[in-house]
Amino acid sequence: MVFWFQSSDELRAVKAMGLFDSILFMLFFHLSGWISALTGLNESIPVGILMILIAALFTALAVLSLIMFKKVHALYRTTGASFEKAQQEFATGVMSNKTVRTAAANAATTAAQGAFKEQV
């Protein structure tokens, strides 16, 4: 599946974000959708045509998503940014924000209280 990516930077970006398995998962469902659509033509032509239309639209959506990913990645690379800088920005910017810290603390408190209530 590496043939989708033109450079190793893009492949590293996908692997770093944990998207490689997601891409394989989506590819499996795209292929099974096309197979179902083509076999659906044997059962009922109108239903098969509708399924082919849906499969074609999902495929177009996947291709457009890949194109947008490549454009965003190219734009990101032109800024001189890196994943290390992004991680640092996230750690210093997001976690230093009082609103985010408060929301995270409230979410953790609520989750802990819910877990204790289930045990009692």
* pTM higher than the cut 0.75: no
CA distances from 79 to 18, 42, 69 (A): 23, 52, 16
15-65: per-residue pLDDT in tens?
665 566 677 777 777 788 888 888 888 889 998 899 999 989 988 988 898
Burial of 93 (0-12, 13-18, 19+ CB in 10 A): exposed
Cα–Cα nearest to 1, from 34, 22, 23, 17: 23
* Domain positions in the chain: 1-81, 83-120
Closest to 59 in 3D by CA, of 79, 25, 86, 34: 34
